[in-house]
Every structure is written in C-alpha cells, then in structure tokens.
Structure 1
C-alpha cells in the first residue's frame, strides 16, 4: 500500500534568481510556479534579493496591500527592509524582495555563529560570497518573521533554498525555527563546476577527488563549505539529475534524498497556425541576416543549426560544436548548405552599424562585410574564444563554403539593435540544435528546443540527455528527436565526428521524414512538463516534513 504523503500548508522558496533573471534556476522556478500556485494558491512565497532598488524591475509588481499587517510588523519590529508584490510570471505568485545590505555590518558575527553552529568556514570568502550570504541570511530572517507573526505549530511549513547562495539562510531557519521543514537543492556543485571549468578531467577521476582538498586547490573553500554543510544538516537534500547526484556523493559526501528533475511549461510555444507563421518569419529573418552579413544568397533550403546558452566555452561544448562544423566543411555527403548560429552572450560592445545599414536596405549584396562571423562588435575583438577558434580552424564563411557560422554575442531580448527578436522567436526557425555539453547538471536549452519541434543533439554528460536515455531505454536517436552522444573526459574528437555525421544524416532526409522527427521531439518535451515532474517535489516535502515533525517531538520531550 502506498504511504500517504505529508503535504505542506505553506511553502517558502528562496533563490538569488527570484524576480532576477540570471540563468537556468530562473527557468526552474518561474515555470514551476504556476503548478504550485494552482495547488497552494497564495500559500507559496518566493523570496529574492532586492537588487533593483531604486530601479524599475520588469519582473516584479509591488502591491502595498499584500500581507500589509505582517509587512508593517517585519519592518518596525524585526528591522527588515522588504517589498511585497507579485512575480510577473504565469501564476503570478507572491514574491518578497529583501534588501540585505543592512546585514553587512553584522557579517563577522553571522559568520562566527555559522561556524559555531554548523562548522561553515567563511574565512576564505571572496567575490560574491558575502553578497549571497547576506541575502540568504536576510531571507531566513524573513521566513522566521512571517512564521512567528502568522503561523502556528499546527501549520506544516516548507522552506526550500536553492544553490550554495541560500545555504546560510537554510541553516538559520533550521536552528531558529525548528518547526519549519528545510529542503536544500544544489543545481550544480561548486567543486564540480570548478573542476570542469579548470580543464581538469571530472568524470574518470570523480571517485578519487576529495571535495575539501579540491576546494582549497581551486580557491572555493567557503562556497564549498556552506554548500556541503547545508546538504548535511537540512531535513531533505535534493539535486536536479542523476549525474549531479554522483558529484554530490563524491564531492559533498552526501547523496541526495530525492532527485528533483527540472520540468517546464510549454505555454510559450505558439500553437496551430501561429506556429507555422512564426517559424516562417524566423527563418526569413535568420537567412536575411546571414545573406546581408556574408553577401550570399542562401535560400529556404538552407539547413539552420543553432547552439545557445551561457558562454562557458568548454562546459557547454561550444568548442566541440565549432570543431564539428569545421569537419562538416569537408564532408562529401553533405547535400545542403548549412547556416550555423552561436547564440551566446559575450562581452558585447555595440551593434554593427555597417550590418544595420544593410539590413535596413532592400538591396542584395554579393560581398561580405569585414569580420563576416559576428553581428555585434565585442569590447575585445582580439580575445574571444569563439572568434579565436574560428580563426584557428581557418573557417572562412566564403561564398563557396557549404558551412557558414555566425556568432550572435548578445542577449536576445528583442532590443539588441540587429536581430531585435527574443530568443524563442528565433529558436522556432531552426532545423536542428546542438548542445554537446561537457558539464550540464540538467540542460534546459535542448529541452526548450524540442518543445519548438526542433530536434536536438545533446550528450550523456547532461542530466537531460541521461533522462532521455532512461525514458527510451537506450541512447536517444535522431529519429526520436533527441540524439544523445556518449561523451567522456577524453573523446572530444569522436563527439565532433558524431555531431558532423548527425547533421549530414539530417540534411539528407525528406520533408516527411523530418516532420516525423519534429513530432517525436515534441512528444519527448511533453513528458518533461511540470505536471509529470512535480511529484518528485511532493516526495521531498514529505521527507522534510517528517524529519521536522520528529525534531519537534524530541524538543517537546526534552
């Protein structure tokens, strides 16, 4: 018989990315919010840093009437500086933004107490450690204030903290409000990311690395310490994929209690006739952009391939993507022209005036602009990994080359000065996407791609790739919509060949074969919707609530 899961009455979640779009965690929280808001209407509260103080935050709408009595108490009696309102995402959940700067003056006392209570080493802090820890501590104080003012022992309350940046607050709540059940989610371990980012082999040697020793070597001791101690002391420790769970076991010496896979909502994907219109528009825009930059006449038969995401050259596999495209230039069996985009925000300067002028003109051009690889000038054109590698590979973007590569080094927010469309409105125009990650705890970009029926290539070093393999019972294939390539510390060349061969195979398919693959891709995306993955959260809530219940029982007996 299945046990009855305990469910919370109130949920608090804190993250640096609440009402603050920085990376993938924003996608996790903002797409899941609607599912939880439907189940716990206005009983889920997201706590974020008030980093937009004095500026208009487009993601947040303040509401002075919301939680008014508590807010007044929190400001006057608890000395908190908070704003309460709605997060402008589907479900419009309540968001509490806290100004954490007043806590800097108590920083040393806060760190000393964290050491005495939980052995958290803040001695080697630098960079964003202080900022994150003061926010985290402030978030913990917000939850304590809300609980003491509004709730009682009979209310079942969850506090879920995301990433090392929120560890200090989770431990504060654990100590000061023991009635609240705590969950800590690491989306990527500090050490794992550092090892991968420092060109050390992560996977073959994972069993041999000592997390504490590597933290000293890579100079991330304090971040590692708060992450590790929080994982060990909270009621329920979670991560986002089996591959990251392996890291947690080895580097944090703590296995996750539950793996909370990252779902998403597909409400941003156009339906029906609108889908076809948007796809057609995006393709025309991308081809026109390329033709104006390169002085070519590529037509709609061109195979458009994309990669995107954060500018982590090795971790995101941008290097192996470029290598594969270079090999593709020599591929005898390639029957179509390939236009490949690298949509990765770099250290962008200004939009190219020469390209802008061409785009505003109706003329056709038969000569390329100078540096025909890039849409915006960079602040440092001579030190950029994408441009450096294209130069090293001797890629030319010449009219007679079957493969053209264009680097779009800006955020696709609709107002970059050249493309002027948002990311999703361009993604829909691609034929295929490639995300050959070396380090990828989950992997939203390939998941978003297949939601737009754009088949994708990923690797088994991405949590998403592993999930597809487990879903299919074998390595995902191109025909199924997600090609999963085996990747290790040392098989870079085989991965590049695998991508080259996959693009070549795709280029030979008929329209009807491609349509089958596109629909298969969308079917996989459907299986990753939050309505399927939210159950893992309920498991985590149950574990945490039972632990908190036991703790409170033992306090009463003392």
Structure 2
C-alpha cells in the first residue's frame, strides 16, 4: 500500500489560475512530465479555479479526455464562446491522476490569411520577424493567437475583484504575454523557461560554454544557429512577464546572461513519489523486474558466452540523444577505464550497461529477435523435459527398493535428448553479441557507436563491462524487455547521468522515485539542487560528478571511481542504499515542492490589477 507526503503548504492564492504549455496533452519532452505529474497537486490546492491550456495537435489524445459538454464554469463558458465564433476548441477533463480540466486549441485550424495578419502584428507591435518556412513557429504563433483570445473572453467571466494568474512554460507557450501586457489586461503573468533556446545550442557547439557564457551576444549567436525567431520570442517573454522563473540555479545563470534578466524564483521539478508502508515492497519489485532483465541478458549474451548473473549488475543511462550534453561521451570514457580496471584485477563481477535513447532505426536486428525466440523455445523444451523427468522420478521413487537418487538422464526420452542437442547447437554462436539491439539508419556516423568502437567496448568475452545500446524508448509493448520504463528502472542497480548541459534532469529523479541509486553532475539542475540541499547525498545513493570547474579527464576518473566503489558494495549494502534512496525521495514530492509555485504566484499577484480597478 502506498502513502503520500502530508507536508503543509501555504494557502494557494485565491485567483483564477491558468497554466499554459505546449506539452499539455502533447508529449514532447521533460515539460510533459512536469505538467502531468504536478497536476494532482495543482488541482488539490487551487480548489476548482484551475485549468490548463495546450495545443490540439495530437489526435490520439482523445482517448485520454472526457469531454465536458455544456459546462457552466468560467473556463467552459469561455471555450463555448470561442467555439461559437468558429474556432476549434475542446474543453475536457484530462484522465490522469488529479483529472485536471484542459482547454485544447487547434492552431492548425487558423487559415493562412489570418495567420499572416497575426505575423504582421507580431512584427509591427513587438519587432519579431517570422520566417515563412517554419511550420513549428507557425503553429506556435497560431496557438498564441488563440490563447490570447481565450484570455480576452475569460476576463469577461470574472467576478468583481477576482484575479487571473497565467503561468506560461517556455517560448512555445509564452508568446501571449506580449499582447496581454500591451493591452493592459487584468492578467498577471509568470514565465518559466526550462532551458534557454540558445543555451542548448551553445552547449553542444561551444567547448567552453560555461566559461564563455557572460560574453556571448545572444542576437549574433541566435542568427548563427538559425533560431532568431525562437530566441527573440523567448527573450521578449522573459523581459515582459511579471515574474520570471526557471527550474534550477544552473539555468538561472543562463537567463542572466542570455535573456538579460535574473529569475526572481527557482521552481524545482518534482514527481508524484509513491511511498510504501513496508520497505520490502519496493525491494521485491526490484527483484521481480531484475528477473525480466536477466531473461533479456541471457538471450542477448548467452548464445555467445555466459557469465554469473548473481554477480552481474545493471547500469543504465537514458534520455534525449545529445551525445555531449547528456554526458554519453563521459560515460563511455569512464566505462572504458572501469573495464580495464576490472580486467586487470581479474574481477568476477560483470557490468551490463544499457544506453536507452531515441534514434532513427530500420528495425530490431533479426538475430536479436531470433535469439529471444530461441530462448523461449529452450525454456519450453526444458519445461517439457522437467515434467517428463518429474513423472518418471516420482514413479521410480515409489517402486525402487533402495533410497539412492536414480540417474535422471535415464528418464529423458531419446526424442528430447536429440531435440535438446539440436536446439542448443543451433542457438550457440562464436560471434560477439551486437552492441546495438537495432539496425540504425546511420550507423557509420552514430556518435555512441563510434565512441564504443574507439574505446573497444565491443562485448568481447573477457570484458567485464558489457554494452547494450537500445536506440528506442522502453515500454510494455517492447518485444525485447516486456517492461514499462519505470519497471526497467526499478530492475536496474544504478542510473548514470553525468550531463554537461541539463537544466533540470528528470532521469536521476525518476531513479530516486524508484529507489534506485544514481549518478548526476553539478551542471544539471537536479545535481546542483542536491549539492545545495542534501549535504550527505552520497550516503543516500545520490552521487554528483564535478564537471563545472574540472577537465573532462578529471570528471571521467571521478565517475570511474564512483562506479567502482558501487561495485565494491555487498548485496546487503546495495539493499540498504536503496532503502536510503527511497527514504529521501519525499523531498521531491510535488506536495513538498508546490510551495515554490505558491511563492511565485503570490509574488506576481502582489502587483495584480483587480477587475474594475484602473491600471496604474
């Protein structure tokens, strides 16, 4: 049975709160996790005066919606008014935990002629030029236009003295801020940038990004990367919003230099942390899901050679494919050093490292699927032999005069002996297991594959460190694992995320929520938060690699040492560390972190104009 944190939170402001994000009912990246996981806390604390606005571009979302027809609340009446005016507007409950109300606006329903007028006004009123050949920017502008219309109508349904608070996430949703301010509407705005547009590009392409951060000229750099419109929208939103927030101190430094405004508040990201009454509950889940990973590993490796699964540990990294930003380069370098160290010591420990990310691929390798199928055939064959031997053994044990265990081989029919030999023989191979489970579209230029080849991490029999590169996200329909991603995480022993650029970093937090120790870096928002707020974090299975002021090789050596020390732990010590991780996971429960949002909203509303009160 699970339990939730009961932390006391300052009263939510008595305002009509609207949260606007491109990833409301539209999964693209990490902001979707923020929006979705925070929804129960927002619904609970806002007490009915809360809804979300997102784009209606994912038709499959209908399965997750319960349409609210003829709703008489202020959001429903506003949506109905826009529909009467001919706009494609959907008002519904999102069928996730908390069941938040959502307004979905279809940007693709805006005709080109009307969109061109909106673009002209965007240039005339705000100095933002829009290219003709950018479909995403066109959608963003159309969505902003519809969102502004929604706020225009919503203000007409307010009671006297009631506030509207609008919270916008990222440049793709924040554009209405400019017209809300220009028209002096009775709406107070909070703008959250989760990662600056320019920062992500610069981090990938600038070797000394953090050292050079104060000296970048944002307009020149935006032009260089072809993101002038996106960067200018973001810059204007940050400058115009009543309150600017971001998710970490790491990103706050970006905002200061690239957006020329220091955020007033930090809004750290959280999750709905599932707590267990009994400690052994999540330990049992680890064992259960680890068995599923065992089956995959046996199918992938054991046709070539075998190793002791009782002395095998599963490490993994996951996330968007950004070779440098996500720290894949550092991870591979450290794994190479760990492999050599274990090999030199003649260690009997095996590490299987999973790289889980999203890449273009043709198909799952036929030999990977064939090996899995053969494993299933061997399993069924062994069950059949076991049943046959069991029946004959039982009969023999009751009829024999002596008490010695008979030769079990004599109980196996010649048919099964022959089939056993043929099946095992056809399954076994002298080839090394493939590093990648899938056939990639551009294997010759894939940075992960190239780095693994350079470091000679190619699954040789005498390598203690084995590699599984899985270029697709893991879910329950995955034919190789048959696990959801969170189940896969629970089955592993250690998550490795030493990012170079990571505004927050949900992956180590997801590990924490699953009672799995993890490694992050001081350049990730999550890692920075840990350093500032959890002094004895290493004891709790939260390891932070220094990257901000260290060389690549220094950080690689530190990562190698942390992984090696983890391998030195006994099974009992690892179990205790999982207990410690689970024990401290409540720190990141939204019930505890929602207070930061309350603070941001209070700050914005402190200068909020009241309907019927003249603007100062």
Partner of residue 436 from structure 1, selected from 493, 498, 503: 498
2:546 and 2:555 in contact (8 A); partners too: yes
**C-alpha separation between the residues in 2 aligned to 1:193 and 1:551?**
40
SS in 1 for 2:436: coil
Q: 1:327 to 1:48 in 2, by over 3 A?
A: same
Whether 1:142 aligns to 2:142 is no
Residue 263 of structure 2 is matched in structure 1 by: 256
Cα distance 1:300–1:42, how it changes in 2: closer, same or farther (>3 A)?
farther
1:126 matched residue in structure 2: 134
What's the CA shift for 1:122?
3.1
Distance 2:91 2:276 in 1: 30
Which gives a bigger RCO, structure 1 or 2 (Cα 8 Å, sep 6+)? Answer: 2
Decide which of 92, 112, 121 is 1:113's aligned counterpart.
121
Following TM superposition, by how much is the alpha carbon of 1:288 offset from its aligned partner in structure 2, in angstroms? 2.1
- Correspondence list, 1:446-465, <5 A: 446-465=508-527
- 5+ residue gaps, structure 2, are 1-9, 379-423
Query: Does the 8 Å CA contact 2:163/2:609 hold for their aligned counterparts?
Result: no
Q: Does 1:326 align with 2:332?
A: no
CA distance 1:134–1:27, change in 2 (3 Å): same
Q: Given that residues 170 and 234 in structure 1 are in contact (C-alpha distance below 8 angstroms), is that contact kept between their aligned partners in structure 2?
A: yes
Q: Counterpart of 2:491 in 1: which secondary structure?
A: coil
What is the CA-CA distance between 1:487 and the residue it aligns to? 0.2
The aligned counterpart of 1:211 is 218
Report how far residue 199 of structure 1 moved. 3.8
CA distance in 2, matches of 1:8, 1:171: 24
Change (3 A) 1:335 1:174: farther
Matches of 1:88 and 1:129, distance apart in 2: 29
Query: 2:29, 2:613 → 1: CA distance?
Result: 40
Structure 2 counterpart of 1:174: 181
**Could you say which residue in structure 1 is the equivalent of 2:22?**
16
The structure with the greater share of residues assigned to helix is 2
Ranges in structure 1 where 5+ consecutive residues have no aligned partner: none
- Partner secondary structure for residue 102 of structure 2: strand
Over the residues paired in the alignment, what is the CA RMSD in angstroms?
Answer: 2.5
1:163-202 deviations in whole A, cap 9, x for unaligned? 0111222223333461111111100001111101224421
How do residues 149-168 of structure 1 correspond to structure 2 at under 5 angstroms? Answer: 150-168=157-175
Q: Secondary structure at the match of 1:7?
A: coil
What is the Cα deviation at residue 444 of structure 1?
A: 0.8
Greater Cα radius of gyration, structure 1 or 2: 2
Per the alignment, residue 63 of structure 1 pairs with 68
Query: Structure 2 matches for 1:83-122, cutoff 5 A?
Result: 83-103=90-110, 104-122=112-130
| 1:317-357 C-alpha deviation (Å, 9 max, x unpaired) | 01111111111110045551111101112113323333223
CA contact (8 A) 2:163 2:610 kept: no
Number of matched residues?
548
Superposed CA deviations along residues 9-65 of structure 1, whole A, max 9, x for unmatched, are 211111111111111101111111101101123321111111124x45444333334
Report the counterpart of residue 396 of structure 1 in structure 2.
458
Deviation at 1:297, TM superposition (A): 2.8
| Alpha-carbon separation, structure 2, partners of 1:491 and 1:102 | 51
Residue 340 (structure 1) aligned with residue 340 (structure 2): no
Deviation at 1:390, TM superposition (A): 1.3
| 1:398-435 superposed Cα distances (whole Å, 9 cap, x missing partner) | 22210001011112122233223210010001111110
Q: Secondary structure at the match of 1:249?
A: helix
* Counterpart secondary structure, 1:204: helix
Q: Counterparts of 1:14 and 1:516 in 2: how far apart (Å)?
A: 42
TM-score normalised over the length of structure 2: 0.83
Secondary structure of 1:222's partner? Answer: helix
Instruction: Using the TM superposition, give the Cα deviation of residue 69 of structure 1 relative to its aligned residue in structure 2, in angstroms.
Output: 4.5
TM-fit CA distance, 1:500 = 1.3
Is the 2:437–2:469 Cα contact (8 Å) retained in structure 1? yes
- SS where residue 547 of structure 1 aligns? coil
**Residues 54-104 of structure 1 deviation map (CA, whole Å, 9 limit, x = unaligned):** x45444333334455443322113x32111112122101011111112334
- Residue in structure 2 matching 1:375, options 429, 437, 442: 437
Q: Superposed, which structure 2 residues align to 1:34-73 within 5 Å? A: 34-53=40-59, 55=60, 57-67=62-72, 69-73=77-81
Cα–Cα, structure 1 residues 356 and 52, in superposed 2: closer, same or farther, change >3 Å? same
Aligned-partner Cα distance in 2 for 1:280–1:66 = 48
Checking the alignment, whether the CA contact within 8 Å between 1:306 and 1:433 is kept in structure 2 is: yes
TM-score, normalised relative to structure 1: 0.92
Q: What is the match of residue 33 of structure 2?
A: 27
- Give the SS at the match of 1:531: helix
For the pair 1:315 / 2:325, whether they are aligned, the reply is yes
Mean Cα deviation higher: 108-117 or 6-15: 108-117
Tell me the distance in 2 between the aligned counterparts of 1:30 and 1:304.
29
CA contact (8 A) 1:206 1:250 kept: yes
Contact 2:196/2:255 (<8 A) preserved: yes
Which of 543, 547, 551 is equivalent to 2:603?
543
CA distance in 2, matches of 1:265, 1:64: 30
In structure 2, the CA distance between the partners of 1:31 and 1:5, relative to structure 1 (3 Å rule), is: closer
